[in-house]
């Protein structure tokens, strides 16, 4: 991936982490670790005996993992400490007879806020008490490092396809029905449109505080706005209004959500933009993602989604 694509991929990962609670987070952790560690074996609950406090392990080196992902980790810090001690004792009692416990990790969805001193203290005590080789916490940043150390195809299998600015002109599938079919057919017969050079477009990107990495997606998709407008010159505006209302509802909802802490070089508006794209795209293929971006760019340019210059309320 290019640096720009990697930045978008990280936003998509952080949104996925931010939304993952309970079983969804455990499933995400398991998927990443199965891709990163071929010897990793997930353990599913079995009837009344459950999973014996083991959510996954590597029997080649005796490394065990327990996952904890409540709705709000900060509000459940005391419960996390209690669970940590109790669960490790249960894990060691049963699994030590299967594969000796040499390393242990307590996996938490901290949503990039960090662990707690009490948890880290207890993990240190467990390491000393049981003479473990390794013992510590695994939080969202550790999973991010693991995921983005993998090949691109494995990353995509976790986060889905990312929009690629260089490929937005090649659309092969229908998105949003006849509107996108028109974009596809026009591109096939007329070739790539002229490069967008609207000064207002640049001003709207600035007003909405979109980073260069994310705004590059809008610029690339904006090259096809003329095709989009050509369709509605020949057809009823009813479907255009319906699509506009739909995207605007998604945008208004996305503005109200809480997002992970801002990464260097990115903005909160970038998270909002990617959230709108994620909800709007009908299917996770590169063609669908790219085509949805064209539609988003058209409504962005006309200020039907996101804010316009002069408005007081910004993101």
pLDDT digits (tens, 9 = 90+) for 99-125: 999 999 999 998 888 888 988 999 999
Among residues 157, 172, 196, the one where a domain terminates is 157
Tokens of 100: 């000796």
Q: Which domain holds residue 286?
A: 163-301
Digit-coded pLDDT (tens) for 180-214 = 556 556 656 665 554 444 547 788 888 888 888 88
Indicate whether 240 belongs to any domain: yes
Question: For the chain, where are the alpha helices, taking DSSP H only?
Answer: 3-19, 23-36, 77-95, 117-130, 140-147, 152-159, 178-190, 199-207, 212-222, 225-233, 238-255, 268-280, 286-301
Least confident of 92-106, 149-163, 246-260, 277-291: 277-291
Backbone angles phi, psi at 58, to 5 degrees: -115, 105
In this prediction, residue 174 has a pLDDT band, given cuts at 50, 70 and 90, of very low
pLDDT computed for residue 229 by the predictor: 73
Q: How many CB atoms lie within 10 A of CB 85?
A: 13
Q: For residue 185, give the 3-state DSSP assignment.
A: helix
Q: Is the pLDDT of residue 166 over 60?
A: no
Least confident of 49-53, 55-59, 91-95, 274-278: 49-53
Provide mean pLDDT across the span 288-301: 82
Q: Is the pLDDT of residue 134 over 80?
A: yes
Among residues 90, 122, 157, the one where a domain terminates is 157
For residues 164 and 121, the model is more confident at 121
Q: Is the pLDDT of residue 56 over 50?
A: yes
Among residues 103, 135, 157, the one where a domain terminates is 157
Tokens of 261: 């802490």
Indicate whether 229 belongs to any domain: yes
Alpha-carbon span 67 to 27, nearest angstrom: 10
Alpha-carbon span 4 to 219, nearest angstrom: 13
Indicate whether 313 belongs to any domain: no
7 and 107 together in one domain = yes
Nearest to 224 by CA among 171, 288, 172: 171
Indicate whether 312 belongs to any domain: no
Provide mean pLDDT across the span 134-153: 93
Alpha-carbon span 168 to 218, nearest angstrom: 10
Digit-coded pLDDT (tens) for 269-286 = 999 999 988 887 776 777
Alpha-carbon span 15 to 10, nearest angstrom: 9
pTM for this predicted structure? 0.70
Distances (CA, A) of 11 to 17, 112, 258, 263: 10, 12, 14, 9
pLDDT computed for residue 194 by the predictor: 47
Alpha-carbon span 256 to 13, nearest angstrom: 19
78 and 219 together in one domain = no
18 and 89 together in one domain = yes
CATH code assigned at 106: 3.40.1350
Indicate whether 315 belongs to any domain: no
Q: How many CB atoms lie within 10 A of CB 4?
A: 18
Backbone angles phi, psi at 137, to 5 degrees: -100, 155
Backbone angles phi, psi at 104, to 5 degrees: -145, 135
Q: Total structural domains in the chain?
A: 2
Alpha-carbon span 266 to 181, nearest angstrom: 33
Question: For 68-151, where are the alpha helices, taking DSSP H only?
Answer: 77-95, 117-130, 140-147
For residues 246 and 128, the model is more confident at 128
Indicate whether 307 belongs to any domain: no
Indicate whether 187 belongs to any domain: yes
Least confident of 58-62, 97-101, 238-242: 238-242
172 and 283 together in one domain = yes
Q: Say if CB 161 and CB 286 are below 8 A apart.
A: yes
Mean pLDDT of the chain: 80
* Percentage of the residues of the chain whose pLDDT score is greater than 90: 27
Q: Is the pLDDT of residue 173 over 90?
A: no
């Amino acid at each position: 991936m290019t640096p720009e694509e990697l930045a978008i991929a990280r936003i998509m990962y952080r949104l996925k982490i931010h939304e993952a609670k309970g079983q969804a987070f455990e499933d995400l952790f398991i998927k990443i670790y199965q891709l990163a560690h071929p010897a990793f074996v997930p353990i599913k609950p079995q009837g009344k005996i459950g999973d014996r406090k083991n959510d996954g392990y590597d029997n080649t080196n005796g490394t065990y993992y327990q996952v904890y992902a409540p709705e709000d980790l900060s509000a459940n810090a005391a419960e996390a400490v209690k669970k940590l001690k109790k669960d490790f004792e249960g894990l060691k009692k049963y699994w030590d007879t299967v594969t000796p416990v040499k390393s242990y990790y307590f996996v938490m969805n901290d949503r990039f806020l960090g662990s707690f001193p009490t948890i880290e203290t207890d993990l240190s005590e467990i390491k000393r008490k049981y003479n473990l080789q390794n013992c510590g916490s695994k939080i969202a940043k550790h999973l991010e490092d693991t995921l983005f150390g993998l090949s691109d195809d494995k990353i995509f299998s976790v986060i889905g396809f990312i929009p690629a600015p260089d490929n937005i002109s090649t659309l092969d599938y229908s998105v949003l029905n006849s509107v996108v079919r028109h974009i596809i057919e026009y591109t096939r017969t007329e070739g790539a449109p002229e490069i967008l050079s609207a000064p207002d477009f640049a001003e709207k990107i600035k007003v909405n505080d979109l980073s260069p990495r994310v705004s590059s997606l809008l610029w690339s998709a904006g090259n096809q706005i003329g095709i989009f407008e050509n369709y509605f010159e020949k057809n009823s505006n009813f479907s255009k209004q319906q699509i506009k209302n739909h995207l605007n509802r998604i945008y208004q909802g996305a503005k109200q959500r809480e997002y992970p802490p801002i990464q260097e070089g990115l903005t909160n508006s970038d998270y909002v933009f990617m959230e709108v794209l994620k909800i709007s795209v009908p299917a996770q293929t590169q063609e669908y993602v790219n085509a949805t971006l064209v539609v988003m760019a058209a409504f962005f340019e006309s200020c039907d989604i996101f804010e316009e210059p002069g408005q007081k309320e910004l993101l």
